[in-house]
Amino acid sequence: MLNVVNLSKSFRSAQETVHVLRGVGLSVARGESVALTGESGSGKSTLLHLIAGLDDGDGGEIWIEGANIVGLPDAARAALRRTRLGLIFQQFNLVPSLSVADNLAFQARLAGQHDPAWLAELVARLGLEALLKRYPEQLSGGQQQRVAIGRALAVKPALLLADEPTGNLDEATAVEVVHLIRDLVARSGCGLLMVTHSARLAAMLARRLHLSNGKLT
C-alpha cells in the first residue's frame, strides 16, 4: 500500500548541509500498523511530511496504492491528502468554529466520501456520542484527540499518518488512544505509520522501525 524507495532529504545552511534522510526505504501493507521511533531531530516528522506530499525530497520514490507521488503537482497532492490519506498531528488541528459532529465529517465531506454509517460507528467506538454538539474549546485534550482520530478515519483513507498523536496526553490516556487507533485501523483496513518517542506505545503496534543517522533499522 505504501512503498518508499531510496528517499533522501537534506537541509542546507550557510555553514553546512545536514543530511536528514539517507536512502530510506520502507513499506506498509494494508491493515498493518508500524511505529516509527528515533531521537528528537532524527527526521521522523520530515519523513511523514514527505510521504504526505507536504514537502519535497532530494531523491527517491514514494508509492501510494501503486502511484508515485514524487513530482506530482500541488493540486494532485492536495487531492491525494483529501481522499486517500488520514493525518493526525500532536496539535489536533480541529476547526474551532465547528462542532464535534461537523469536525468529524469535515474531511470526508470535502472528499465527497461521507459515509453516515461508518461515521456513526467511529463516534460509538471513540465514545463521542455525548459530545457531538460541543466545540473544541469545550473538550479535554484526550477528547480533542479522539475527534482528530475520527476525522482522519472518516474518509476511509488508504493510509493513516500519525505524528506523535499522544504527545499532549498523559500516559494512561495515550495508551488508550493508541489502542483505539490500532483497533480502528484494523477495522478499516488502512495502513498506519505512527511516529512516537515512546517505546511502550511503539510496542503496541505490529512492527517497529527506528530512524537514526538518516537510515532506518
Stretch 190-199: mean pLDDT: 94
Q: Assess contact for 100 and 132: CB atoms under 8 A.
A: yes
Query: Which amino acid would we find at residue 79?
Result: A
- Answer whether residue 14 shows pLDDT above 80: no
Query: Hey, what's the cell of 151?
Result: 476525522
At residue 23, does pLDDT exceed 90?
yes
3-state helix, strand, coil in the chain (%, to 5): 35, 30, 35
HSE, side-chain direction, 13 A CA sphere, residue 75: 0
Cα(162)–Cα(157) distance, integer angstroms: 13
Instruction: Spell out the long-range contacts of 128-133 with Cβ–Cβ below 8 A and sequence spacing 24 or more.
Output: 128/100, 128/104, 131/100, 132/99, 132/100, 132/101, 132/104, 133/99, 133/100, 133/101
Structural domain spans, the chain: 31-45+73-216
Around Cβ 163, how many Cβ atoms within 10 Å? 21
CB 17 within 8 A of CB 207: no
- pLDDT computed for residue 40 by the predictor: 87
| pLDDT of 166 over the 90 cut | no
Instruction: Give the confidence band of 157 by pLDDT, cuts at 50, 70, 90.
Output: very high
pLDDT average, residue stretch 136-163? 93
Residue 125, pLDDT > 80, answer yes
Task: Please report the pLDDT score of residue 173 as a whole number.
Answer: 85
pLDDT at 169: 81
CATH number of the structural domain 31-45+73-216: 3.40.50.300
pLDDT above 90 for 101: yes
Please report which confidence band the pLDDT of residue 200 belongs to, taking 50, 70 and 90 as the band edges: very high
Residue 91 has pLDDT above 90, yes or no: no
- Tell me the percentage of the chain whose pLDDT exceeds 90: 75
- Contact indicator for 189, 61 with CB cutoff of 8 Å: no
